[in-house]
Amino acid sequence: MGNRASASHLSASSGDKTQATGGSTLYELADLHGGGKIIDQFRLIYQSDDPLTQSNFNQFLRNTIKPFLYNDGHGKLVPVSTLVEERENYRLGGVRKTKRKLLQYKKYYSMTQIIKDQHDIDPGSLEHDEHGNPCRLVCWDIAKRGSVGENIVHLCLLLNNPFHTDLARRIIAVFPKLAMDIYLGDEYYGEGPLHMAIVNRDFFLAKFLIDLNAPVNEIACGKFFFPEDQKMKRVSNTNYEYVTVADDETDYEGFAYYGEYPLAFAACLEEMDICKLLIRHGAYINAKDANGNSVAHLTVIRNLPEMFDFALEHGADIYAKNNRGYNCLTLAAKMGNKEMVKHILELERKPYWTFGEVSCAAYPLSSLDTIDTESGLEGSIDRKSVLNIVVTSDNPRHLDLLDGLIVEILEQKWALFARKKFYQHLITYIVYLIIFNAAFILRPPFQPDPGTSHCVARNDTRQDYFLCPRVANGASKVIDSKDIGRLILELLTAGGSLGYLGSLIIDFNRQGFHIVFQSLVNAPTRFLFLLSCALVTISIPGLFICALTRYANVTWFLAIILAWPYCLFFCRGFRLVGPFVLMIGKMIKGDLLKFMLLYLIFLIAFSQAMVVSFAGTGGSRMFLNSPLRAIEGMFILSLGEFEEIEPEFDKAPHPIFVKILFVFYVVIANVLLVNMLIAMMGKTYETTVETRKEWKRQWAQTVLVIETSIKPKQRLQYQEKYSEALGDGHDGRAVVMRWQHDEIEKKRDHKRKIRKLNELADLLYKKDLEKRKNNKIANTIRNAINKGKTKPPTSNLESIRGKNLEMKNKRADILATVTNPGMILQATTRAGGSRPVSPQQNENTDNDASHQIVNPEEE
C-alpha cells in the first residue's frame, strides 16, 4: 500500500522515482523508517498530559510544516491539467516530455461528468476557477512532495500503528485542509487519508476525517488500484484527472482492486460500520469505477454475499451493467462463482409456497435465459446471459453451475423444440450423406490418353459435357443408365450443399455475425461440414466444363472427407457415445497436438541426418537420398516397416553410424514418444471420466446451437411454453421450479431470520431509549411547571406528546409482524450473549445490562 513498494526495492520499471533519504525535504520531517524531525519531537511528548507541552508541540507543527503548504495551510486551486501533467512526469520517472500525447477516447466519457449527470453527487474535491476550468484544492506544495506524490500525513498513515496514526491526527487537526490532500504520483493517484483509514480499518479516524469534510466520493485511480492485466492499458485525459482503460477485457484480479471509491474500499474490506458512516454522509452506493463496476459488482468479484446483501438493502442497483455488459448475476456466472450465482438467484426468486423442506418459487428469466426479451431485439440470443456464459465457456469452474435451475431450463428447451429439431437435422444429414457418397462412388476414373488433349473436339450433344471422363476416354457408348443416376445424385448433392449454405446466410442476417460465429465455435465439426458444402458448390462448374473436371475431383475428395466428422456433432446428443466424442476432441486438441509437435522435431532432425549420411550414394531404390524421401522413409521406419529400407543401410559410406542413428530414432520415436502419447491419453481419459458434467456441457452446447437456428418469433413462442408471466406488476417471465432444501440453504435461512430478529430487537431498543428520554424531558418540564419556576412551553409539550404517540404506533406495528413478541427475549436467553455494538452505536447508547441481542455467530 502507498509508497512502501518504492522504498523496498529500487525498480525503475515500476514507474516510481526511487525514494532516497535525501531525495526530498519531506523525508527530513518524517520517513518510512520511523525517523524525522517531527516524529522525533512527537516521540518526546507522546506520553505527556501537560497542556502546555501539547500546545508547544502544536506550535512546533505550525512552524515546521507551514513552509511546505500553500497559503499557510489554506491550500490553493490547481488546474487539473497541471495535476495530470505532473502525474505523467511521475510515470516517466521525472523526465518531462512535452510532446507526449495523452490519449483521449470519445467513448470513455468523463467519469466526473457521468457522475454529475446521472447521480447528481460531488465526485470528489473538484472546483472550478473563474474561467470554468476544473481545479483541485491542493494543500501540500506539489514541488515538496515525496517520491510518489505523498505528503507527511500519507507517510504516517502508511506506517499504520497507533503512534503514527495519532501524529497524523494531530497534523490534520492543526491543518484541516490536509484531510483532502491526495497522492499525486501515477502509482497511487487519488488515494487520500480517508482511503488509507479504511484500509487500516480505523473507524474513528475515518469519522474524524469525514467530520473535517474529507470527500466521501474521492476516486483513487492510480495504477496500483487497477487489475493486474489493465495496469498498462490506462488512458489519461488532460481535461479530467480520472483515468479510463483502453481495453475492457480483464479478469478483475488485482492486489488492491477495491473499486476506487471509499465506499467500495470499505465494502471490499467488509467494514460494514464504515460503509454505514459513508452512506450517512453522502457516499453514493451506485457510483462506478473505470471498469463500470459498482459496489455490488465488487462484492461479487470479492465473493462477499453478506456485503452484497448490505449493498442491496441500501439501494444498490444489482441490474446495472459494467463496461463489459455484465450485471451482478452475469458477472458472477462469468467468474464461475457458484456461491454468488446461487445467492443472487435466491434473492431474485419469487416464493410461492413451502411445504416442509420442499419449496416452489418463480425465477425471473431476465439475464438468465439465452432468449432476450429486454434489449429491444425480442427473441434474439443474449450472449451475456448466464446460460450462454456457462455453456460456452471452457473454464472447469463453470461445470459446477450446470445443475439445478440451469439444467432445468435446458431440459425444458430440449423437450419442447431442441429434441425434435435435433432428429430432423440428423435425418436430413444422413440422407444428404448417403446421396453424396453414392454420387462420389459412381464417378468413373479419369484416365486421359497421354498423347491427346483432355478435351477432344467432337460433334456430341450438350449433354455429353456432363460425361467428360467418358468423352476423353473415347468410350463407344457416351451415356447409359449409370451415368444418368450419377448425374441426378450429383445435382441433388449440389442442391443440398446450396441449401445448407443458404440457411447459414439466413442465420447471419437473422442473428448477426457474432452469434452465428459463436455457434460454429461451439460445434467445430459443423464448420467443417459447411466448408465441405462450399467445396461442393464451387465444384459445380466442373460438371459442365471438361477442362475443370480434374479440379472438381480434387474438391470432391476434400469435401467427402470434411463431411463425415459432422456425425460427431450428432453423437454428442446421445449419452451412450457422447462422452467418448468429448474424449476424442480433448485428445486431438491437447495430447495429439503436443505429440505431433515433438514427433516432427525428431523426425526432421533424424531424416536430415540420414540425407547427409547417404549423400552421393545414388540408387533408384534409395529412400534416403533426398530430404522429402528421407522424411517419408523415417516415418515408415517409425511404423515398424524395416524390410524395404533396412538393406539400404549397408550402401551408406558409414553403415555403422547409420545403424546407430537408426537405433536412437527407433528408441525415441517408437518407445519414448509413443508411450508418452499413450500416457497422456490415459490421463485425459481419466480426467474426463471424473468430470461427470463435461458431457452435459457438450449436450447443452448442442441445444444452444439448435436454438440459434430458430427464428426469433418462434423462440419467444417456445419461451412462453416453458415459463409464465411474473405478475404482481412485474414485467418479464419466470420459470417455476420446485426444490428440496439442502443443509447450506437451511443454515443461510436460519442466519437471515436471526439477523432480522436482531434488527427488530435493535429497533425496539432504540425506540425504547427515545421514549425514556422524551419521558424524562416531559417529567422535568412538568416538575418545573408544578414548582412555578417557568411557564409551560406548549409547543415542546405538544411535540413530545406527538412523538410518544407516533412511537407507540410504530412499536405496535413492529410487534404485529412478530408472532410472539417474547421470542426475541427467549432467543436472547438461549444465546446468552450480546450483539457487538458498532462504534457509532456506542456513542448513542448507554450500557444497559438488560439489552441482550442475539449474536448470529454464537447462535
Q: Mind listing the pLDDT tens digit for each residue in 148-169? A: 888 999 999 998 888 899 999 9
Place of cell 488509507: 196
Mean per-residue pLDDT, 242-258: 84
CA distance 571 to 437: 20
pLDDT of residue 799: 55
Coil, strand or helix: which one is 106? coil
Answer whether residue 28 shows pLDDT above 50. Answer: yes
pLDDT of residue 204: 93
Answer whether residue 763 shows pLDDT above 90. Answer: no
Mean per-residue pLDDT, 334-347: 90
For residue 584, what pLDDT band results from cuts at 50, 70 and 90? Answer: confident
CA distance 647 to 583: 41
- Output the CATH code of domain 579-691: 1.10.287
- Which is more confident, 351 or 807? 351
* Residue type at 717 in one-letter notation: Q
> Residue 69, by phi and psi: left (phi above 0), alpha (psi -120 to 50) or beta?
beta
- Kindly state the cell numbers that stand for 71: 497559503
Answer whether residue 620 shows pLDDT above 80. Answer: no
How many CA atoms lie within 13 Å of 332's alpha carbon, on the beta-carbon side?
26
- Which is more confident, 182 or 762? 182
For residue 76, what pLDDT band results from cuts at 50, 70 and 90? Answer: confident
Mean per-residue pLDDT, 815-829: 41
For residues 26 and 156, is the Cβ–Cβ distance under 8 A?
no
CA distance 605 to 611: 10
CA distances from 153 to 163, 200, 219, 282 (A): 13, 14, 18, 24
End-to-end alpha carbon distance in the chain: 37
For residue 462, what pLDDT band results from cuts at 50, 70 and 90? Answer: very low
How many CA atoms lie within 13 Å of 674's alpha carbon, on the beta-carbon side?
10
CA distances from 156 to 161, 189, 200 (A): 8, 17, 12
Answer whether residue 103 shows pLDDT above 60. Answer: no
Answer whether residue 86 shows pLDDT above 90. Answer: no
CA distances from 772 to 768, 807, 840 (A): 6, 11, 20
Mean per-residue pLDDT, 401-424: 89
pLDDT of residue 276: 92
For the sheet containing 134-138, what is the strand order?
A: 76-79, 134-138, 126-128
Of 422-426, 748-752, 836-840, the range with the highest mean pLDDT is: 422-426
Answer whether residue 108 shows pLDDT above 60. Answer: no
CA distance 178 to 356: 60
Answer whether residue 414 shows pLDDT above 70. Answer: yes
Q: What DSSP designation does 22 have?
A: T
- Which is more confident, 438 or 478? 438
Mean per-residue pLDDT, 765-772: 79
pLDDT of residue 111: 42
The pLDDT > 90 percentage for the chain reads: 15
pLDDT of residue 656: 83
The pLDDT > 70 percentage for the chain reads: 73
CA distance 414 to 422: 9
Coil, strand or helix: which one is 477? coil
For residue 576, what pLDDT band results from cuts at 50, 70 and 90? Answer: confident
For residue 691, what pLDDT band results from cuts at 50, 70 and 90? Answer: low
pLDDT of residue 8: 36
> At 734, which helix (H) or strand (E)?
strand 730-740
Answer whether residue 556 shows pLDDT above 50. Answer: yes
Mean per-residue pLDDT, 388-395: 86
Place of cell 515398424: 640
For residue 548, what pLDDT band results from cuts at 50, 70 and 90? Answer: low
Say whether pTM exceeds 0.85: no
For residue 136, what pLDDT band results from cuts at 50, 70 and 90? Answer: confident
How many CA atoms lie within 13 Å of 449's alpha carbon, on the beta-carbon side?
11
Lowest mean pLDDT among 80-84, 169-173, 234-238, 809-813: 809-813
Closest listed residue to residue 285, CA positions, set 257, 304, 266:
266
Answer whether residue 466 shows pLDDT above 70. Answer: no
pLDDT of residue 809: 59
**Other beta carbons within 10 Å of 789:** 8
Q: Helices 272-280 and 305-313 sit at what angle, rounded to 10 degrees?
A: 20
CA distance 521 to 394: 12
Answer whether residue 385 shows pLDDT above 50. Answer: yes
pLDDT of residue 772: 79
Task: Kindly report the backbone phi and psi dihedral angles of residue 516, in degrees, each rounded to the nearest multiple of 5, phi listed first.
Answer: -65, -40
Answer whether residue 213 shows pLDDT above 60. Answer: yes
How many CA atoms lie within 13 Å of 686's alpha carbon, on the beta-carbon side?
5
Each residue's pLDDT tens digit, 292-316: 999 999 999 999 998 999 999 888 9
pLDDT of residue 616: 65
Answer whether residue 768 shows pLDDT above 50. Answer: yes
Answer whether residue 195 shows pLDDT above 90. Answer: yes
Which string of b and e fits 761-786 if b means at least 16 CB within 10 Å?
bbebbebeeeeeebeeeeeebeeeee
For residues 78 and 172, is the Cβ–Cβ distance under 8 A?
no
Mean per-residue pLDDT, 663-684: 84
For residue 833, what pLDDT band results from cuts at 50, 70 and 90? Answer: very low
Mean per-residue pLDDT, 622-645: 72
Query: Which pairing describes strands 234-237 and 240-245: parallel, antiparallel, or unpaired?
Result: antiparallel
For residue 829, what pLDDT band results from cuts at 50, 70 and 90? Answer: very low
CA distance 430 to 418: 18
What rounded mean pLDDT belongs to the chain? Answer: 76
pLDDT of residue 807: 57
pLDDT of residue 124: 52
- Which is more confident, 638 or 420? 420
pLDDT of residue 99: 36
- Which is more confident, 300 or 72? 300
For residues 333 and 390, is the Cβ–Cβ distance under 8 A?
yes
CA distance 530 to 521: 13
Answer whether residue 522 shows pLDDT above 70. Answer: yes
- Which is more confident, 730 or 193? 193
For residue 23, what pLDDT band results from cuts at 50, 70 and 90? Answer: low
pLDDT of residue 357: 74
For residue 651, what pLDDT band results from cuts at 50, 70 and 90? Answer: confident
Coil, strand or helix: which one is 658? helix
What's the 3-state SS for 34-99?
CCCHHHHHHHHHCCCCCHHHHHHHHHHHHHHHHHHEHHHHCCEEEEHHHHHHHHHHHHCCCCCCCC
pLDDT of residue 835: 36
- Which is more confident, 65 or 584? 65
- Which is more confident, 320 or 729? 320
pLDDT of residue 531: 92
pLDDT of residue 445: 63
CA distance 264 to 284: 10
pLDDT of residue 11: 35
Which string of b and e fits 228-264 if b means at least 16 CB within 10 Å?
eebbeebebbeebbbbbbeebebebebebbbbbbbbb
For residues 30 and 61, is the Cβ–Cβ distance under 8 A?
no
Sketch the domain layout of the chain as residue ranges.
Answer: 4-97+104-245, 445-568, 579-691, 745-844
